[in-house]
Amino acid sequence: MANILEVKYENQADARVCEVAYETQADLCWHEVPYLTQSSGDAIWHFVAYPNQASFRIFRVKHATQADLRIFKVNTPEQAGWRNREHPLRGKLG
């Protein structure tokens, strides 16, 4: 389950992420769900408020060159998934 906590400081994060403008630029396309129990795998995300609820912590950066992971938000769960199948973070978010 990908229960994501967005942290304020880079040293608290598991990865630095950058939201890219186009799906073709992304390593991972993700879809946000409203409930904790709906999150699954690496691509279906639920944002949590507390560190003890998180399976993965992210820190947002402005430039893709600064990021460990380039992400793109999609509208449906069917569109979500890895675009870079060789990425080192694959299987570690959920």
pTM of the full structure? 0.92
Tell me if 28 sits within 8 A of 68, measured CB to CB: no
Domain boundaries along the sequence of the chain:
2-82
Written as tens digits, the pLDDT of the chain (94 aa) is 799 999 999 999 999 999 999 999 999 999 999 998 999 899 999 999 999 999 999 999 999 999 999 999 999 999 999 999 999 999 998 7
71 to 17, 44, 86: CA distances (angstroms): 7, 12, 15
Please name the amino acid found at residue 39.
Answer: S
- Structure-token pair, residue 61: 């950066």
- Backbone angles phi and psi of 35, in degrees to 5: -120, 145
